[in-house]
Each structure stands twice: as C-alpha cells, then as structure tokens.
Amino acid sequence: MFSESEYAVIWEVYATLLTGLASHELADQSFVQTERVVRETLDVLLTEAAPKWQGERRDKALHYLLDETFGLGPLEALLASSRVSEVRVESNKRVLARIDGRFQQTAVRFRDDGHRKRIQKRALASKGVGGADVWVSGQGFSIRKG
C-alpha cells in the first residue's frame, strides 16, 4: 500500500499526533468532536510532513492514520471487505485472511510487536462490537466477523 519511506512519514505523523494532542483537551468532547479535531490535526501534520502528497495518496494516508487512531489499524481494510470472514494475526509479518472461505497470506504488516499488541488490545476491548468474535492464541489473535 505504501513504500517503506512513505510508512516512515506516516509513523512520524502519527507519533507527532500522539505527543501533540493532550488527552485532557479531548476528554470533554464527544466522539464526533474528537474525530474532527484529530482529522484536522492530521491534515495539518500531513501537509507539513509530505507537502507533495496530493489526491488519492494523501487521502489513503489520512484514512490509514484515522484507522490507526480510532480503529484496528492495518486490519481495517481487510475487515471492511465483504469477501473476508476472518482475519488471523500470527505475527507482525504474517497476517492471514479467510477470503471466500480459504485462508490466504495478506500483505498486511505491523510495524513492530508494540504495534501488533496495541491493535490486539483494541480488538479484545471491542469484542462483540459489530458481531465480531475475537480470541487470542499463542502470540497471535483472530477476528471472526459476525
């Protein structure tokens, strides 16, 4: 989806977002207000970090960052597909998806163990949301869509 150098820019923007937004500033806001503030902040940060990214590339980067901030990061695109019924994370670099009934290796990768564990915790915290089942096995975890 992105080159290594583009991911480096995206992670720099994400780190800047996390250090720049004080949680107490967002504590009294609704989710819609928080999402608006985060989207506007990401827009500014992307403009500063990657001024040449325009159109579709910029939109994909912004969407990826929003998924990372509010969702299940790199798993969101898989889970949005109607052809995918289950996602199995076996390691940072091995993510399988049950596509049309058969497990297949995907191009999805996690940056490091911390990234994978953070997404795993989010998945477990949202267990049952949207009818999804989440379970942990060994070092990995699986999400089965309901």
- The reported pLDDT for the residue numbered 24 is 57
- The reported pLDDT for the residue numbered 23 is 62
What does the pLDDT average to over 21-47? Answer: 85
- Is residue 58 domain-shared with residue 81, that is, in the same domain? no
| pLDDT averaged over every residue in the chain | 90
- Is residue 52 domain-shared with residue 112, that is, in the same domain? no
- Is residue 95 domain-shared with residue 133, that is, in the same domain? yes
- Is residue 117 domain-shared with residue 56, that is, in the same domain? no
- Is residue 96 domain-shared with residue 125, that is, in the same domain? yes
CA distance 57 to 35: 21
- Is residue 13 domain-shared with residue 45, that is, in the same domain? yes
List pLDDT tens digits, range 64-117: 999 999 999 999 999 999 999 999 999 999 999 999 999 999 999 999 999 999
- The reported pLDDT for the residue numbered 128 is 58
Q: 95: domain range?
A: 74-144
What are the Cα distances from residue 52, in Å, to 5, 44, 46, 110? Answer: 14, 13, 10, 25
- Is residue 57 domain-shared with residue 30, that is, in the same domain? yes
Give the CATH number for residue 86: 3.30.450.90
- The reported pLDDT for the residue numbered 129 is 60
Q: Which of 70, 88, 121 is the last residue of a domain?
A: 70
Q: Residue 30 CA to chain centroid, in angstroms?
A: 21
- The reported pLDDT for the residue numbered 20 is 83
- Is residue 89 domain-shared with residue 115, that is, in the same domain? yes
Q: What pTM does this model have?
A: 0.84
- Is residue 78 domain-shared with residue 140, that is, in the same domain? yes
Task: Work out the percent of the chain whose per-residue pLDDT is above 90.
Answer: 72
- Is residue 28 domain-shared with residue 84, that is, in the same domain? no
Radius of gyration of the chain from Cα atoms? 16
Q: Which of 32-36, 70-74, 95-99, 127-131 has the lowest mean pLDDT?
A: 127-131
Q: Which of 70, 98, 119 is the last residue of a domain?
A: 70
Range ranked top by mean pLDDT from 11-25, 29-43, 127-141: 29-43
Q: Which of 41, 70, 99 is the last residue of a domain?
A: 70
